Amino acid sequence: MDLLTELGGHVDGVRLRPLVLDEDLAVLSRLVLPELFARRLAARPLPGTTLRGSLGLPRPLSRFTTDGAAALVEEETR
């Protein structure tokens, strides 16, 4: 846990991967994640938020959109 606390000041995030899914996933969810939340090293996602919204990315155009319609949508977003 101390390593994750130390890394928190240097990196944007870490990925925790269970070695044995059936065993380690229960340990992560019961012991590790609550401690990370308590230390404010991790946060639960807010309902209704998306990764795209969190990163401020626009919605992609449909691949079925014609070039003319795509230009209109691009002008509207400026």
Going from N- to C-terminal start, the domains of the chain cover 2-77
Q: Which residues neighbour 58 within 8 Å (Cβ) at sequence distance 6 or greater?
A: 77
pLDDT at 77: 63
Residue whose structure tokens are 């340990």: 27
Give the model's confidence band at 59: pLDDT under 50 very low, under 70 low, under 90 confident, else very high.
Answer: confident
pTM over 0.85: no
| CA distance readout (Å), 50 to 1, 58, 61, 73 | 28, 12, 17, 22
CB atoms within 10 A of CB 16: 12
CB atoms within 10 A of CB 78: 4
3-55: per-residue pLDDT in tens?
Answer: 888 887 788 778 888 899 889 999 999 998 898 889 888 888 787 788 888 78
pLDDT at 24: 92
